[in-house]
Structure 1
Amino acid sequence: MLVEMAIADAYGAGFEFVAQDIIRTHNDLSGYRAHALSGESACYTDDTQMSLALAELMLSDKPWDSETIAAAFYDTYHRDPVHGYAKRLQQAFTEAPNAKAFARLVKTDSFGNGAMMRALPLGYLADEQKIMSRAELQARVTHDHDIAVNAAKCIALATHAGLYKKATLDTLPDYLTDLGCVFDAQWEGPVRAISEDTLSAVLMVLSQSRSLSHILELSVNFGGDTDSVAAISCGIASCYDEVEKDLPQALIAQFDHPHYGLEYLTNIDLRLDALKR
């Protein structure tokens, strides 16, 4: 899951909010593009890093509460700063002298997509009600809005349905609806960095392909917040047996994140998978 997220995230970041003609010309999965603002390439962004923070917390013996969740975000960022964070989170990371101060600074009523993009690892939990309660708690640390909470629950349950074989991608919308999730699985045009847009785009991409490489291409084709749509879509799709795991070897070989890269993420993925047994 995290490996696929990281590669898709790094690839999508090079197309984030660029002109559509750039996407049409360069979205061929042959290699990474530099991010238009940071100049970084072949490196994952906040989408993967915050997912990693929650995954590590799940694997620890720490309590699942607002304080430890905020500390996980704060500590994971400061050990390995990456680009892509929303301005308000970046400012909170920079200004806060410690995790407790960060927690006070960062809580808002935002319905941006930050809470949903990091919720995928929660799908490894066996109990659906526990998944939803934990998805809500982690969401409200930074995005205290019901729209953001709903999207986080949907994403966590989507990975769970694949991991535990409770749905196929064809039946996933029905599975989510039965558990109270609210969404519209139709989308076209650039995706804004808000929960409703991103959730719709992700579910639409997942309905259209059974190949990770094609899912990555389709995610970027929308334009807008391409790294979030790509990371979430590929992360979810990696949990389904019916999806061909065919991310291009070029993207795997060119990936460049020295400290917490693919080897580290592979190890976390294996430890998460052990939670199912």
Structure 2
Amino acid sequence: MTALDSLAGLSVGDAFGAQFFATENRRLLSDETATPPAPWPWTDDTEMACNLVDVLHRHGEVDRDALAAAFADRYDPYRGYGPGTVVLLRALRDGESWRAVSPAQFGGRGSMGNGAAMRAAPLGAYYPGDLERVALEAAASAVVTHAHPEGIAGAVAVAVAASYVTRGDADGLMDAVLAHTPNGTVRDGVERAAGLLDRTREEAAYELGNGARVLAHDTVPFCLWVAARHLTDYEQAVRTCVAVGGDIDTTAAITGGIVAAHTGAGGIPESWLAAREPLPDWVTGSGAGP
């Protein structure tokens, strides 16, 4: 599968999940067969993922300077960026270097948020099965905005998962992610997730988090749990993310990107693709293969 397949899954998940933040659509949460009325605008999750895919296509790897420039130049403040990312992107747009701005966030610790993970799945699909390369490229893609080791680890875990499933099923997925994710709270969460695959979604979300804290370790393990449980069923995977609440556009984006890396865009319901706001021409015309 190509990065564009994964990007389609990411963007549809993002757009679908985001609709449930609207007051008029929250009543639909009680009906797990309902879909919000179209169109479904996407958020910053998709905008950043599109930029990452574009840089991969143009450079054949993660060029960190090019990625920072793309994030800054195409930044749309109405896409729902978090306050920390807004400050960072404005600084980049004003000519500051990501090398100074990203590590300086949060008192010099860097961000451990889920933003680097939310855009990483298409990167994994860009390098199908090449897990060591993916881990390195994912770390490079993360540090531009998320310099904290946990923010980086979240991106690595998601990208490795997406790369792994392009070449096979869910068997061995958690082991592959664990083998390439640096030690820390994200990896600890993935290890817990691997032991919860027989639990309900509510139990898993309680144990792992649902993204409500908007941190990598509160988000990524649950997304991997969902992907491992529903790798062949895109709709069920995304609806599972929505059903447990939290940062539902981001959990649905991460999970959707991983699942579509396995199923291809053909696994996404056609009506959902049609409802999603179109992606920018500059990314959909790229081909986005390695």
Which TM class, normalised by the smaller chain length?
0.7 to 0.9
Decide which moves more: 139-148 or 117-126: 117-126
Q: Give the percent of matched residue pairs that are identical in Structure 1 and Structure 2.
A: 25
RMSD (Å) for aligned C-alpha atoms: 3.1
Secondary structure at 1:59 match in 2: helix
> How far apart are 1:68 and its partner, in Å?
2.1
Amino acid at match of 2:96: K
Task: Choose the corresponding residue for 1:7, options 9, 12, 24.
Answer: 12
Q: 1:66 to 1:207 in 2, by over 3 A?
A: closer
Q: Out of 142, 152, 157, which is 1:149 matched to?
A: 152
State the partner residue of 1:252.
273
Which of 220, 225, 236 matches 1:214?
Answer: 236
Aligned-partner SS, 1:50: helix
d(CA) in 1 for partners of 2:73, 2:40 = 23
Sort the Cα spacing of 1:177 and 1:96 in 2 relative to 1 into closer, same or farther, 3 A: closer
Structure 1 residues 134-173: aligned runs within 5 Å: 134-163=137-166, 165=167, 167-173=168-174
Q: How does 1:1-277 map to 2 (within 5 A)?
A: 1-16=6-21, 22=27, 24-25=29-30, 27-32=32-37, 42-61=40-59, 64-77=62-75, 82-94=78-90, 97-100=93-96, 104-107=100-103, 108=105, 109-123=110-124, 124-125=126-127, 127-163=130-166, 165=167, 167-180=168-181, 182=187, 183=190, 184-185=192-193, 186=196, 187-189=204-206, 190-192=210-212, 193-209=214-230, 210-241=232-263, 245-247=267-269, 249=271, 251-257=272-278, 260-261=279-280, 266-268=284-286, 271-273=287-289, 275=290
SS at match of 1:112: coil
For residues 215-240 of structure 1, the C-alpha deviation after alignment (integer angstroms, 9 at most, x for no partner) is 11101111010001101101100121
Shift of 1:247: 2.3
TM-superposed CA distance for 1:146, in Å, is 1.1
Residue aligned with 2:262, SS = coil
Contact 1:162 1:239 in 2 (8 A): yes
- For 1:215, give the aligned amino acid: A
Per the alignment, do residues 222 and 32 of structure 1 end up closer, same or farther by CA in structure 2, a change over 3 Å counting?
Answer: farther
Counterpart CA distance in 1 for 2:282 and 2:36 is 22
Q: What displacement does 1:11 show? A: 0.9
**Residue 94 and residue 207 in structure 1: after superposition, are their counterparts in 2 closer, same or farther (change >3 A)?**
same
1:48 Cα offset (Å) = 1.1
TM-score (norm 1): 0.80
Write the distance in 2 (CA, Å) between the matches of 1:75 and 1:66. Answer: 14
More helix by share: 2
Q: Which runs of 5 or more structure 1 residues have no equivalent in the other structure?
A: 34-40
- Gap runs ≥5 in structure 2: 1-5, 197-203
Cα 1:214–1:243 change in 2 (3 A) is farther
Matched positions, count: 257
Aligned counterparts of 1:95 and 1:180: Cα–Cα separation in 2? 30
Distance in 1, matches of 2:22 and 2:164, equals 31
CA displacement at 1:208 relative to structure 2: 2.3
Aligned to 2:3: none
CA-to-aligned-CA distance 1:96-133 (integer Å, 9 cap, x gap) = 54453676445421111011111122211254332222
Structure 1 segments of 4+ aligned residues over 6 angstroms from their partners: none
Distance 1:252 1:156 in 2: 23
